[in-house]
Structure 1
Amino acid sequence: MDAAGSYNGDVCKINPSNLTIRGVNGRPHIDAAGNNAIGKGLWVLEGVGTTIENVELSGAQVPDQNGAAIRLDGRDLTLRGSYLHDNENGILTNSDGVSDIVIENSEFAYNGRGDGHTHNLYIGNVNSLVFTGSYSHDARIGHLLKSRAKTNTVSYNRFSSSTERPSYEIDLPNAGTSYVIGNVIQQPAANDAATMLAYGEEGATNPGQDLYVVNNTFLNDDSVRGTFIGVGSGVTTPVLMQNNIFAGTGEATSQVNAIDKTNFRSLLPPLVNRLAFDLHPLPGAALINAGSAVGVSAAGVSLAPTKQYKHVAGTEDRPAAAVIAIGAYAAAQ
């Protein structure tokens, strides 16, 4: 798709499999402009193995108030370098149990109707989600990321809000083997739910119940309440919390048997510029060379962070160190 074109109202149901849609000569913007495809959204994907790159999608609204910029009714989706905003849902997928969803270097903002049932992203009970190098912010009451996938890899992203009032920053309501590594996770003072990362709170019905929360920087701007990691009562496997910064008010986790390993708690951690989201440790800060060696998951997957989030919606290599720093960022080089 050529960015020079005009695509307002160009909604469609997309049937072919193994199709790549790529924006060129800039980023084309497709606004629903009051239209919808088969009552479901802006682009409704029916095929298998669709790849979408470098597009901007907005304005998805449908009569049942659950429309999406991208609605996956087929199987498997890869999204890269795109911007989805001001829709009822950014992405809404089916729950086929077999799809693999990959989302890289994309931005999601101002999605949701304000009813708490529509979100920046809502991934159904698919096989797997990989969400990396992306920026999800300012959902309207809904979650910044909600996924019922059996396996979730959420790494090197920024979840934050400044103008809207979101609910959970990350919601994994049915548990599942989940890796939350190297993210910036900020809760604004005005929020609709005090928990930042929720796990298994609607029933731990996925096969895996192992959650690995490693080298993240959590920032709670709510000075009254907060739970950094909320875990449902049906989750019996201890959550691994390692090398995280928990900044602000609240308890680290609601799970009494969680593994709490070399995490840093402070109302004001020693970061370069908290307000500007420069979250590298200050020179000489106690965060540097203070982490513990990161191992592997029960399935043998490495938990060591190799990258760090780079704004806007990107990543960069994380500098190696003899002893890892605590948090989502290594010491500035």
Structure 2
Amino acid sequence: MKTKLVNYFVYVGVASHLLLLIIIIWQPRLFGKLVSMPMNYYYSKSAQLEIDNYSKLITLSIEEQIDKVFFPWQPKPNLSNKKQTVQVNGVSFSSLKLAVKSLKSGDELQIYDGIYTKPFKINEDNITIIGYGHVVFEKSAYDGKAFVVSKGENLTIKNIECRFIAVKDKNGACIRQEGKNITLDHVYFHHSENGILEKSKRPGNIYIFDSRFELLGKNGKAHGVYSSTANLYINNSLFIATKSEGHAIKNRAEKTFISNSLITSLSSDDSRLIDIPNGGVLSVERSLLHQGPLSVNGQAIAFGMEGVRYEKNEINITNNIILLERIKKNTLLVTAEVDMTPIIEGNIVVNTNSNQQYKNNSFYQSRSEAALSEYPSFPKEICQFMNPCPLI
């Protein structure tokens, strides 16, 4: 009887291994699925535990988190006390359309308090658009592109709010730059597909100062800021809760400089904080970077992942506060194979679920270990670099 049992198990073992070998040879996909099932079960359980832990923290909607953490954007007041709607160099017009039609190079388009729903195109060079009081552009796009389409050179836009811009191809924007050089000063772009979308055949520069980009993005194709050819200079600005797998900042041009700014996912389903798909020079200094618990992409910053096109490639990430709190894997920086050594120094880094470390930085496993305020708040230390302080 004992011999029969031994023989039975031997035959069963041989038959099982032969069956497994046949599956591996003839149905490798089925074998892969069989192997991955217990692994997927384990990781899904682990992820669910972390989600459950974070769900205790994420008790507010994204809008409620924003209201709790940040002061609301405020337009600069209309100190002129003028009652006009639109002027060009102090001359009044009955409509924004007529004012835009009259513009000549070097003119100033002055727009006064109100909500404007008629989009427009700027063809002339050296135009300045200034909002006096609370000026809102909303719910419309010129030629199915953006509320403002810029064809000229050296456009400046100041003190304007723009919201609710969506178009048929899902790539609408508050501003579409098809000209060369644009400056945004104290603008608030939100609840739209793109904030600013640059698609120019004339490489130039984008300058962004004291501005706020919030709840922007669409299907991974629209972003807070997208530049195709223009170098990007960002200072003293906010990028909050990019959504729908969009990047907060995506720049294909050669140079990207970010300073004294705050970029956060909160609990949105964004992708990367910063995407530099074709390499070049990237500098991030004296800023706060926060990858939230529900970010879709585990990479906070990516460099050259769509093909490096520039001879000079440099990365400088220094003196920042970096909070990487994604539930799954967190990666601060991923780069293509390129001959360079990133400079990553002087940062305070809270990085959960990652073994990625760099010398000359302070690494912590949690906010509490770093003595920083708990989610969704941010440390007030960033206020020494931002004026005015955006944090409540």
1: CA distance between counterparts of 2:157 and 2:288? Answer: 25
Q: Does 1:165 align with 2:284?
A: no
1: CA distance between counterparts of 2:251 and 2:172? Answer: 17
SS at match of 1:280: helix
Where does 1:271-310 land on structure 2 (aligned, <5 Å)?
271-275=371-375, 276-280=377-381, 308-310=385-387
Q: Does 1:247 align with 2:350?
A: yes
Task: Check the 8 A contact 2:278/2:304 in 1, yes or no.
Answer: yes
Give the partner amino acid of 1:148. R
SS at match of 1:78: strand
Q: Does 1:52 align with 2:160?
A: no
The gaps in structure 1 that reach 5 residues or longer are 255-259, 282-306, 315-333
Q: Which of residues 238, 242, 250 is equivalent to 1:135?
A: 238
2: CA distance between counterparts of 1:311 and 1:190? Answer: 29
Once the 2 structures are TM-superposed, how far is the Cα of residue 270 of structure 1 from its aligned partner? 2.7
Q: Note the alpha carbon deviations across 1:253-284, whole angstroms, 9 max, x for none.
A: 59xxxxx4411111134345243212539xxx
Q: Which of residues 228, 249, 254 is equivalent to 1:150?
A: 254
Give the partner amino acid of 1:266. Y
Q: Which of residues 71, 78, 98 is equivalent to 2:203?
A: 98
Q: Which of residues 370, 375, 381 is equivalent to 1:270?
A: 370
Between Structure 1 and Structure 2, the one with more helix by share is 2
Once the 2 structures are TM-superposed, how far is the Cα of residue 99 of structure 1 from its aligned partner? 0.7
Once the 2 structures are TM-superposed, how far is the Cα of residue 59 of structure 1 from its aligned partner? 1.9
SS at match of 1:192: coil
Q: Note the alpha carbon deviations across 1:206-239, whole angstroms, 9 max, x for none.
A: 2321111111111012243100111122x22111
Where does 1:53-72 land on structure 2 (aligned, <5 Å)?
53-72=158-177
* CA distance 1:229–1:138, shift in 2 (3 Å): same
Q: Note the alpha carbon deviations across 1:106-153, whole angstroms, 9 max, x for none.
A: 00011122x111111111122x21011110011112001111121111
2: CA distance between counterparts of 1:215 and 1:147? Answer: 22
Higher relative contact order (CA 8 A, sep 6+): 1
1: CA distance between counterparts of 2:317 and 2:113? Answer: 43
Rg larger in structure: 2
SS at match of 1:206: coil
Give the partner amino acid of 2:246. G
The gaps in structure 2 that reach 5 residues or longer are 1-109
Task: Check the 8 A contact 2:222/2:246 in 1, yes or no.
Answer: yes
Once the 2 structures are TM-superposed, how far is the Cα of residue 252 of structure 1 from its aligned partner? 6.8
2: CA distance between counterparts of 1:95 and 1:64? Answer: 18
Where does 1:170-181 land on structure 2 (aligned, <5 Å)?
170-181=274-285
Q: Note the alpha carbon deviations across 1:275-329, whole angstroms, 9 max, x for none.
A: 3212539xxxxxxxxxxxxxxxxxxxxxxxxx62356569xxxxxxxxxxxxxxx
SS at match of 1:152: strand
SS at match of 2:311: coil
* CA distance 1:252–1:123, shift in 2 (3 Å): farther
2:341 corresponds to: 238
| Structure 1 stretches of at least 4 aligned residues deviating more than 6 Å after TM superposition | none
Identical pairs, percent:
27
* CA distance 1:61–1:181, shift in 2 (3 Å): same
TM-score by length of 1: 0.78
2:35 corresponds to: none
Once the 2 structures are TM-superposed, how far is the Cα of residue 20 of structure 1 from its aligned partner? 0.6
Once the 2 structures are TM-superposed, how far is the Cα of residue 94 of structure 1 from its aligned partner? 1.6
Q: Which of residues 126, 130, 141 is equivalent to 1:36?
A: 141
1: CA distance between counterparts of 2:313 and 2:114? Answer: 47
Give the partner amino acid of 2:153. V
1: CA distance between counterparts of 2:370 and 2:330? Answer: 20
* CA distance 1:97–1:212, shift in 2 (3 Å): farther
Task: Check the 8 A contact 1:243/1:261 in 2, yes or no.
Answer: no
Once the 2 structures are TM-superposed, how far is the Cα of residue 249 of structure 1 from its aligned partner? 1.6
* CA distance 1:252–1:147, shift in 2 (3 Å): farther
1:88 corresponds to: 193
Once the 2 structures are TM-superposed, how far is the Cα of residue 248 of structure 1 from its aligned partner? 2.2
Give the partner amino acid of 2:126. N
Between Structure 1 and Structure 2, the one with more strand by share is 1
1:200 corresponds to: 304
* CA distance 1:71–1:181, shift in 2 (3 Å): same
1:12 corresponds to: 120
